[in-house]
Amino acid sequence: MSNNEMVSPDNALPAGQTPVLEMPFFHRVTGDRLDRSFPGSQTIYLALGCFWGAEKLFWNTEGVRQTAVGYMGGFTPNPTYRQVCTGRTGHAETVRVTYDPEQISTEEILTLFLENHDPTQGMRQGNDVGTQYRSAIWCTTSEQFVAATALKGVFQANLLEAGYGQITTTIAMADGVEFYLAEAEHQQYLENNPFGYCPVHATGVCLAQA
């Protein structure tokens, strides 16, 4: 099996003993604990390739209360980064985005998601190849799911007009899908490593065409 083919539950790596990130851990940009709750906020989980640059995109967005990176959508509990890179956990590199809907709408969050990677590439983003780099959205409300499905349809039409193929982004509810926080060195990675490698693979296609 290559690492760009989804592993089966029977062939996935076994669970780790404990979470790889111990609490308390404090966000390197905002200073808040990563397990802090934000009353009135909403959370959505977004996979769009390498999570280092994707997280920075969202922590720099007004209305976003907190970000964190982790692993989601696979079968191995408490995976390490090295394990995820083998393609044998089934997890995607994912950004947890907590936002204030009074300051930024779900549609605006999803627009940033769609316009800042190439959602037609399947199990890759550019030279980053593997199931961990696939495009996915895990929603925590039915409103998010409806918005994601509608915007995907609009963006698909725009991509086809620009010569791109079919969107491969999966959209699902997060119910029962565990998000495992990544190791400390990956949290807000580009804050500690401002020259770290994590290119944006945006298509240049906009959701709202001129």
Model pLDDT, residue 198? 84
Per-residue confidence (pLDDT) for residue 2, from 0 to 100? 64
Handedness of CA 93, 99, 104, 107 (dihedral sign): positive
pLDDT value of position 1: 58
Amino acid letter for position 145? F
Query: According to the model, what pLDDT value does residue 156 have?
Result: 98
Would you state the pLDDT for residue 210?
58
Cα–Cα separations (whole angstroms), residue 76 to 18, 122, 199: 12, 21, 27
Angle separating helix axes 142-161 and 106-115, nearest 10 degrees:
40
Of 62, 71, 141, 148, the C-alpha closest to 113 is 148
Q: Report how far residue 119's alpha carbon sits from residue 164's, in angstroms, rounded to the nearest whole number.
A: 10
pTM over 0.75: yes
Determine phi and psi for 32, rounding to 5 degrees. -80, 150
Residues 6 or more apart whose CB falls under 8 angstroms from that of 84 comprise 71, 74, 91, 93, 132
Residue 197 CB coordination number (10 Å): 11
What is the CB neighbour count within 10 angstroms for residue 15? 12
pLDDT 10s digit of each residue in the chain, 210 long? 567 899 999 999 999 889 999 999 999 999 999 999 999 999 999 999 999 999 999 999 999 999 999 999 999 999 999 999 999 999 999 999 999 999 999 999 999 999 999 999 999 999 999 999 999 999 999 999 999 999 999 999 999 999 999 999 999 999 999 999 999 999 999 999 998 888 889 999 999 975
The pLDDT assigned to 3 comes to: 79
CATH code reported for the domain at 39-192: 3.30.1060.10
Q: Indicate if 139 belongs to the active site.
A: no
Catalytic residue among 50, 85, 198, 206: 50
